[in-house]
């Protein structure tokens, strides 16, 4: 199975041992992203909704670079540090989807910060026999 590494400057750079995403077998696997504005490199501060919105913009940019989109996402996990932020984060994620809901909201753990999106998987726009 062939794999293609996905990289775009429209989203924050991945840590050195990761890639922003990998495309394989007709799917795009997006690595985690933090609420970082790629134009400034600064972490978004403020309410969790602002942080989640930035993560969604980052993921959307990565998926676009891979030839996909949030509308084709089949799975995502979002870590929320404060249980009181669940409702706001959930509303924002639901509003970003045109069909169905995909995100799983989890309490923060393993060093994750509020608003971090740990993973996302989406269908690639064009399927190919080589993956």
Residue matched to tokens 């840590």: 15
27 is a domain residue = yes
Model pTM score: 0.77
CA-based nearest residue to 34, from 106, 115, 90: 115
Q: What CATH number is given to the structural domain containing 82? A: 3.30.1330.40
User: Would residue 46 be called left, alpha or beta, if left means φ above 0 and alpha means ψ between -120 and 50 degrees?
Assistant: left
The structural domain count of the chain equals 1
Q: What count of other Cβ atoms lies within 10 Å of the Cβ of residue 4? A: 16
**How would residue 86 be classed by pLDDT, with cut points 50, 70 and 90?**
confident
The residue segments making up the domain with residue 93 are 3-11+20-123
Residue matched to tokens 């062939």: 2
Reduced to 3 states (helix: H, G, I; strand: E, B; else coil), residue 90 is: helix
Please say if the pLDDT value at position 16 is more than 70: yes
Contact 114, 108 (CB under 8 A): yes
């Amino acid at each position: 199975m062939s794999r293609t590494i996905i990289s775009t400057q429209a989203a924050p750079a991945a840590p050195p041992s990761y890639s922003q995403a990998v495309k394989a077998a007709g799917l795009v696997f997006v690595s985690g992203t933090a609420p970082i504005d790629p134009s400034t490199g600064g972490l978004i501060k403020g309410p969790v909704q602002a942080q989640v919105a930035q993560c969604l913009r980052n993921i959307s940019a990565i998926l676009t670079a891979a030839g996909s989109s949030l509308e084709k996402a089949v799975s995502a996990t979002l870590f929320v540090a404060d249980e009181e932020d669940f409702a706001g984060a959930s509303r924002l994620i639901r509003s970003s989807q045109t069909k169905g809901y995909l995100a799983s909201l989890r309490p923060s753990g393993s060093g994750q910060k509020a608003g971090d999106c740990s993973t996302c998987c989406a269908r690639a726009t064009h399927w190919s026999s080589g993956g």
